[in-house]
Structure 1
Amino acid sequence: MMLPDFLRGPPQEIESLVDAILSNGYDGGTILDAALSHLTEAALDRLVHKYVATLDGDNLDENIETLIAYASLQKPAALHPFLERLFEVQPNQGSYYASWPWREAPASAIAHLADQAGAGADTEARMQAFECLLETRQSAALDLCASLAKSIPARHPMALYLESIGFSESGHALYADEPLHLIFPRKHFTPPSQSWNLPRIHPTWQLETGGSAYRFGGTGSGQCGLCGGALHHLVALPENRIGLSERPQLASLETCLSCLGMEQPVLHYRHEESGQITSLDKGEVTPEFIATPLKQCEVRLAPTPARWRWQDWALSNGRENLHRIGGFPSWVQSANHPSCPCCGEKMKFMLQLDSELPDENGEEWLWGSGGICYGFSCAPCRTTAYMWQCT
């Protein structure tokens, strides 16, 4: 049986396979990565309890580290009863997601971390506790982090640590915590050309939608201030969904695909209440590559279930739908919110678009080598900005 067919099959068989991989130390690889997203939540709870409750340095292996990494994304609360054990064993040590199990951890976990960060501990242990405290995103923990950053001292300014979890230096959230997924028509994407590529069967591609349809792709109405070409239309969305205002009127989100990231790393625009879009970047450039507009279609919005509230670009490995409105960004590199060109404040995350979007010529559009494009907004100034990251 091919893996896509298996992942569409009975949930109990998927759980049995994952259990067998974990208990026998088989080479899980891509099969384990994919199967963990197709477990029921109850099965995920059972497996976490079975393999994490008794975890120690002797039975920790790569497969269990994978289970912990995906659980920290899909259901971090399942790991919360075992946080003291995880702090001691340190699964995924040295990875950027080692502290994710502490996301929104309870007060008892914060108290334990505060003890571990005490002045008597060595610098490495204090930094480990600092990073776990930061990931809780709780106000009491962040206050403690600010103090620890000075006393340890931390490797970077506190502002960078706050931005990494989606907060400004003043403590304001830089993202709306009610994400939505963009759902495309079933035949919009080109089928995978390789047999080993999983088709779009991950649950985030199958979310239930409702309400209005919104125009995606095509040519925009504005003009690029750098090359003078027509802007490329990304998507038209209600202003109250993207942080431009509290009004439901549609805003056309546009940028120049020819210049973005190639001629300038960040492009900025002002949105007039009339709907007119003005490029705030000025210059005279001739793009090395002229981009074709993205293929037009109508997309719908789907409320993001709690299980997929957090998504990671690397761990998704091309399987997941990362086309999202709001929520915490799936950064390819470090967090990087541009400053508004008008007021200078950090802009709020608005949306992200993954690579492999078809263009009007039938080719796949890649952000750089295959990363993600991020959009940001500043409501007081009615500005938007775009940038992309790749490896």
Structure 2
Amino acid sequence: MKDGLKFWNGYRADGLDFVRSHVEELTRLALRPETRLPFAVEGMRALGPITLPFYGESLSLLAPRELEVLAGEAVTLLRRTERGSRGAAAAVIAHASLQVPSVLTPHLPELFQLLPNEAAYYGEWPWRGADSSEVARLGTVARKAEEPPWHLCGFLVGARSDEALALAQRLFAPIDSPRLDRVLRQVGRELVDHRIRPLTSEAVFHVVFDDDYLRVDYSDPEHVWTHPTLLAEGLPAERSPFGGVLAERCGRCATPLARLLELSAILPELGVHSRSQVQFATCLWCQGSAEAPLYFSHDESGTPASLPEVRVSQPSTRHLRLNETVARVQRTRQRWRFQDWGLSTHRQNLHRVGGEPTFIGQYVYPRCPRCSGRMPFLLQFDSWLPLEGDAFLHWGGEGLAYLFWCDPCATSATFVESP
């Protein structure tokens, strides 16, 4: 406790200059099992109304039991802290609700009153840990409300359990089913034909690249430890060639398509049954947007072809290629099934396959150009992928590229979202 207190007293006196000059001490306190919890507790108290990216990331190093203790301390601190001055304690609640929401389950009735992140887009996240009693309590509150309590709809839908989703449908579909559908899309579901249908898979994987491939710079004092999602642990579920270009060309600009992943073994877990192998691709020049995605059909071998088909007499000679490598598709630990672009602070691995996408602002699932149904999410890639010639791909500027799949039509769609 004394070491952690000493560090945070130094921060209070000299600010980030102290942190930059004590990187080794920061690393030791955040990593060692005997110091990391006291370091986090003292940090929450010292930071008070503010928070810092490296503090939020240090919470990823805590064991679930330690995060449970810290969450309890955060709730205690929130009780006596005015709204607007809850930065660090509120950050603990946000990170806990994303990583191990069950540690917040006993505190949900009180958090319902405290609402530590009321003005933030992640204010409803603690209810990911809602159990049956909390779902029933929310239902009782909703039925007593004089006007439709749409914030409670977000709490129920955010719980993601069949029980909570069914209750949300009973309470809110008769009032405004299109609005309920929009809320459902925030958790990877849709309301279609009076049924709630998943738009994501239960299976979640991370795409892990070698540090040499990503050219990670660990000299940044905020990047002195490797986030767990960047580690290649155990045998990969699949290995895939990545980067370079394919023979097929973009239907808009006629440049060769960029090779993304080629998957086979894990496809059934992702809801892909119409093909036994699929080569996924996109165009690095056109990239696509939520309003105008790029579409690709996939033949029996899984090879992509741009929709509409390429019809140019003079192929493009423009050159933009991802460096080639072999990527590991690694099964994701339960703790990292959910991630967030904002809270990741560019320190986590957001190259993901399956699960829920980490949308930056919109919750858009494109319509299939063939059947008009919404296309489930399949995979995404973060920025800072290396290009040939010592450049990097930023997907529109620190953005992400998303890929969706319509299985009956064997059609994929890609688009880019940036802040």
TM over 0.5: yes
Tell me which residue corresponds to 1:234. Answer: 260
The question of whether the paired residues in 1 share the 8 Å contact of 2:278 and 2:301 is answered with: no
Paired AA for residue 231 in structure 1: L
Shift of residue 40, structure 1, vs aligned partner: 1.7
Which of 263, 270, 276 is equivalent to 2:297?
A: 270
| Residue from 56, 60, 68 that aligns with 1:37 | 60
Aligned to 2:166: 143
Q: Which residue is 2:415 aligned to?
A: 387
Question: Within 5 Å, which residues of 2 pair with 1:358-369?
Answer: 358-369=386-397
Contact 1:7-1:38 at 8 Å conserved across structures: no
Alignment of 1:109-128 (within 5 A): 109-121=134-146, 126-128=149-151
Match of residue 322, structure 2, among 275, 294, 308: 294
Considering fraction of residues, name the structure with more helix. Answer: 2
Q: CA deviation at 1:39?
A: 1.2
* Alignment CA distance shift 1:9-1:140 (3 Å): closer
Q: How far has the Cα of 1:317 moved from its partner?
A: 0.8
Aligned residues: CA RMSD: 2.8
Counterpart residue type for residue 130 of structure 1 = C
Q: Of the candidates 229, 234, 239, which is equivalent to residue 204 of structure 1?
A: 229
Post-superposition offset of 1:367: 0.8
Q: 1:386 to 1:262 in 2, by over 3 A?
A: closer
1:49: which partner in 2? 72
What CA distance in whole angstroms lies between the structure 2 residues aligned with 1:287 and 1:87?
59
2:110 maps to 1:85: yes
SS in 1 for 2:388: coil
With over 3 angstroms needed to count, the CA separation of the structure-2 counterparts of 1:186 and 1:161, relative to structure 1, is: same
Aligned equivalents of 1:241 and 1:297: distance in 2? 24
Compare 275-284 and 217-226 and name the one that shifted more: 275-284
Partner of 1:219: 245
Q: How far has the Cα of 1:384 moved from its partner?
A: 0.6
Query: Which residues of structure 2 form unaligned runs of 5+?
Result: 1-21
Q: Secondary structure at the match of 1:37?
A: helix
Aligned with 1:99 (options 116, 120, 124): 124
- Give the SS at the match of 1:346: coil
Letter in 2 for 1:102: W
Q: Counterparts in 2 of 1:232-381, with a 5 A limit?
A: 232-238=258-264, 239-240=267-268, 242-245=270-273, 249-261=276-288, 265-281=292-308, 290=318, 292-381=320-409
Secondary structure at the counterpart of residue 35 of structure 2: helix
Q: Which amino acid aligns with 1:6?
A: R
Between 226-235 and 310-319, report the one with greater CA deviation.
226-235
Distance in 2, matches of 1:388 and 1:103, equals 27
Shift in Å at residue 145 of structure 1?
A: 2.4
Q: Post-superposition shift, 1:263?
A: 12
Distance 1:62 1:242, change over 3 A: same
For CA contacts below 8 A with separation 6 or more, give which structure has more relative contact order. Answer: 1
SS at match of 1:64: helix
1:244 & 1:128 partners in 2: Cα distance?
Answer: 34
Q: Provide the C-alpha distance between the structure 2 equivalents of 1:282 and 1:263, rounded to a whole number of angstroms.
A: 21
Q: How many residues align?
A: 387
1:190 is aligned to 2:225: no
What amino acid is the match of 2:55? L
Q: Which residue of 1 aligns with 2:43?
A: 21
TM-score, with structure 2 as normaliser = 0.84
Can you give the 5+ residue segments of structure 1 that lack an aligned partner in the other structure? none
On the 8 A contact 1:76/1:103 being kept in 2, the answer is yes
- In 2, the alpha carbon distance for the partners of 1:93 and 1:287 equals 53
Rounded to whole Å, the distance in 2 between the matches of 1:280 and 1:344 is 14
Report if aligned partners of 1:214, 1:237 keep a CA contact under 8 Å in 2.
Answer: yes
How much does 1:160 deviate? 1.0
